[in-house]
Amino acid sequence: MIIWINGAFGAGKTQTAHELHRRLENSYLYDPENAGYFIRKNTPSSTHKSDFQQYPMWRDMNYAMLKHLDEDYGGIIIAPMTLVDPLYFDEIVGRLRDNGADVHHYALCASEATIKKRLRSRGERPNCWAEQQLARCVSGLADARFGHHVDTEHSSVSEIAEQIAEMSKLSLLPDHRSNIKKAYDRVLTQVKHIRF
């Protein structure tokens, strides 16, 4: 099974994915962004695109990797990634489904004000790149192919993970961490995902 966690930048994909990974036995966290960084690192800057999703090879690489993992790994694959272009979605998620993969897709949603607040909390400035993508993300995710929509406005990361697990018919391990440990884990996850 593949769980693709979608949503606007700042919607909570990374935190939710890590929470699921912590609480799902036999799970693997796959980051589709890494294919983009590989492409940028290994191509001349004159050929770079503003968004690495525009590279057909980015879509091909992620399809191939997820197909490989789905066939060779006996556990649950969790992929957090904003993907709002319907054609790109079809080239990866649609193609995986067409070729027999069990892909559960969830789009995390929240108000614009909440998403902007979350972006600020992780150190993003007003009008940053992620914020500039907000309207495009909200518009794209409104397309029916991007269901199931998960409202994260008033939910904790744990509650969102529990909701996704329930919809995917998966059982989570009990979470015995204290509130301080949960907060520490969220900060650690955030720091690990700062791109320099």
The enclosing domain of 154 has a CATH number of 3.40.50.300
Average pLDDT along the chain:
92
Query: Does residue 196 surpass a pLDDT of 60?
Result: no
Residue 125 to residues 120, 121, 122, 128, 129, Cα–Cα distance (Å): 6, 10, 9, 5, 9
**Cα(92)–Cα(83) distance, integer angstroms:** 10
Which tokens hold the place of 129?
Answer: 């790149």
Residue with tokens 């036995």: 25
For the stretch 13-60, pLDDT in tens is 999 999 999 999 999 999 999 999 999 999 999 999 989 999 999 999
Give me the number of domains the chain comprises.
Answer: 1
Residues paired with residue 3 on neighbouring β-strands, in sequence order: 78, 104
The predicted model scores a pTM of 0.90
Q: Domain range spanning residue 101?
A: 2-192
Closest alpha carbon to 148 in 86, 103, 114? 103
Task: State in Å, rounded, how far the first CA of the chain is from the last one.
Answer: 32
